Amino acid sequence: MRMPRDVSVLRITPPADLVLKTAVCSYGYFKLAPNRWDEASQAYHTIVRSGDEQLINVAVTQPSQALRVTCRPGVWRTDAVNVRRQLSRILRLDEDFSAFHKRHAGAKRAGFGRLIRSATLFEDIVKTMTVCNVAWANSVRMNELLCEHFGDGGFPTPSQLAGSRADAVKRKCKVGYRAAWIVRLARDVAAGKFDVAWFEDTQRDGDESFDRLRIIHGVGPYAANNICMLLGHYDRLAIDTETYRHFKQVHQVDTAGRDAQLHRRIERHYEKYRPYQYLAYWYELWHGYGDRFVAEDTR
C-alpha cells in the first residue's frame, strides 16, 4: 500500500472578489476550534476530515489571487477532492455576492460578504448552540474541548458524539445544559432522522429552512436565524442582545422602547438591502469592530 507524503500543496482558483483574510475574519466562528487565523503568516488553519476517520491539517494562504492549501499529512486524489469541497463550503466559493455588492458600495470596496462557516452543517448548528447565552471565552473553550475529547483534534462527527452520554459531554466539554441538545442532534443526524443534505439545497426557501431548524431541540429563534444565514439565507436577521446594543449605539435609538418594538424597527432599517439584510447589518458591526475583531478574544 502506498503511503501519502508528509505534505501536499493544492491550488484553488477562487472567485475574483475573494479576500482570504476578510472572508475568514469577518465572522467570529474563525476563532472556534478547529479554526485558527495566524496573523503573522496571514494563514487560515483548520482540520478537516476525509471520511469519518482521516484528519487533515490544512493551512490556507493567498500569495496571489489563487489560494495555496497546504495539507498535512499529504493527500491522494480522493482526499484532495474532499479538502477542496470542504474549503469551498467554509469560504463560500460557490456563492455570488455581486448583487449584494451592487447595493452596498462599502461592502464591495472591502470585499465583504463571504462570512466564514464550518465544513458541515452539523458543526455550524453545534457551534451556534455553544455561542448562545454564554460569554465568548466560554464558547471558545467549549469548542476546544469538543475537538479535544470527542473529535481527536478535529470537530466531532455526529457518529462520534452519538455514541456518547450527555453527562460525559457536559463534564468533559463544559457545555452545561447544551450537552443534551448536542447529543440528541448527533444521534438524529447519525440515524438519518435529521436530513442535513435537505438544508444544503440552494433552492430552499429561508422560511422553510427556519421552520425545520426550529424543530431541533435547543434551536430557538435566534439560533435558527443564525443558521439560516450560515446556509446563505441573508434575508433573515439573527437579532439578539448584541444587535440591540449595536443598533442603539450606532443609530442613536431611544433605549426606552420595548424589545419587540426595537426588533421591528431594526428589521425596517435593513429592509432596503433585501435579500441581504443580514450582510448589511453584519458589515456595520464588523466595520465598527475594525482590527479588534481579529486581535481580541471578545466580540
Single residue of 81, 99, 137, 168 touching DNA by CB under 7 A = 137
Residue 245's CB is within 10 A of a number of other CB atoms, namely: 12
How big is the site for DNA, counted in residues (CB under 7 A)?
34
Binding of residue 223 to DNA (CB under 7 A): yes
Binding of residue 228 to DNA (CB under 7 A): no
Binding of residue 135 to DNA (CB under 7 A): yes
Single residue of 19, 110, 132, 253 touching DNA by CB under 7 A = 132
Q: Residue 84 or 214: which CB sits closer to DNA?
A: 214
CA distance 102 to 266: 22
Q: What distance lies between CA 232 and its chain's CA centroid?
A: 11
Single residue of 54, 57, 70, 138 touching DNA by CB under 7 A = 138
Contact call for residues 286 and 263 (beta carbons, < 8 A): no
**283, 295, 275, 292: which is closest to 246 by C-alpha?**
283
Binding of residue 24 to DNA (CB under 7 A): no
Binding of residue 247 to DNA (CB under 7 A): no
Single residue of 218, 232, 269, 287 touching DNA by CB under 7 A = 218
**65, 58, 59, 80: which is closest to 15 by C-alpha?**
65
Binding of residue 166 to DNA (CB under 7 A): no
Q: Residue 42 or 138: which CB sits closer to DNA?
A: 138
Single residue of 14, 28, 34, 151 touching DNA by CB under 7 A = 28
Q: How far is the CB of 181 from DNA (least distance, A)?
A: 7
- Contact code string over 259-298 relative to DNA, x by CB under 7 A: -x-------------------------------------x
Q: What share of the chain is helix, strand, coil (3-state, %, to 5)?
A: 50, 10, 40
CA distance 293 to 27: 9
Binding of residue 176 to DNA (CB under 7 A): yes
H or E, element range at 114: none
Beta strands in the chain (DSSP E): 8-12, 36-38, 43-50, 54-61, 67-72
| Residue list 43-102, contact with DNA (CB under 7 A) | none
Contact call for residues 56 and 83 (beta carbons, < 8 A): yes
Binding of residue 131 to DNA (CB under 7 A): yes
Q: How far is the CB of 49 from DNA (least distance, A)?
A: 25
CA distances for 61 relative to 39, 42, 49, 243, angstroms: 11, 6, 19, 32
Q: Which residues of this chain interact with DNA, rule CB under 7 A?
A: 28, 131-138, 141, 170-171, 174-178, 216-224, 226, 238, 240-242, 260, 298-299
